[in-house]
Each structure stands twice: as structure tokens, then as C-alpha cells.
Amino acid sequence: MKLADFPGLVQLSPRQRMQIAEELWDSAADDKLPVPPEHKKLIHSRRAAFDRGEMPVLTMSELKKSLRRRP
């Protein structure tokens, strides 16, 4: 399935499409999809590293600058 399959969506503004995308994402999250054990393990290990102060933290400004530099 592609966006082109929904011509009405293509005509919406980017903001409107983002609102729909957010609603779709939220509705999928409500479906309680299973999370593989490897993903849970990775999340827990990253959270533990963050809690120990071992992960760098960016301000929103730093994050935006970093994203702008990407090709």
C-alpha cells in the first residue's frame, strides 16, 4: 500500500497528513502488538545506560542541528 493509493490523502496539507499519521500510529499502539524479547532487552539495556549517565543527552536545539546536517 502506498500514499498514491489514497488520492484524497495526497491532496491534504502536510500538517493534515501528519495528524492522520499520528492517529494511525496511536490506533496501532492500542492493538497491543507483541514486542519481541530482543527488542525489550535492548530497550532495558539502553534505559539502564541512560540512568547510569552513560548515554549522551542532546537538547532539542542540538538534535535539530544534528538532523539538519544529515543528507
Rounded-to-integer distance, Cα 38 and Cα 48, Å: 15
- Res. 39 pLDDT band, cuts 50 70 90: very high
- Res. 59 pLDDT band, cuts 50 70 90: very high
- Res. 31 pLDDT band, cuts 50 70 90: confident
Find cell 532495558 and name the residue: 44
Comparing CA positions, the residue from 29, 1, 6 lying closest to residue 17 is: 6
Enumerate the domain spans of the chain: 1-33, 34-71
CA separation, residue 13 to residues 1, 5, 17, 29 (Å):
20, 17, 6, 24
**pTM score above 0.75:** no
> Do 46 and 55 touch, CB atoms closer than 8 A?
yes
- Res. 3 pLDDT band, cuts 50 70 90: confident
- Res. 60 pLDDT band, cuts 50 70 90: very high
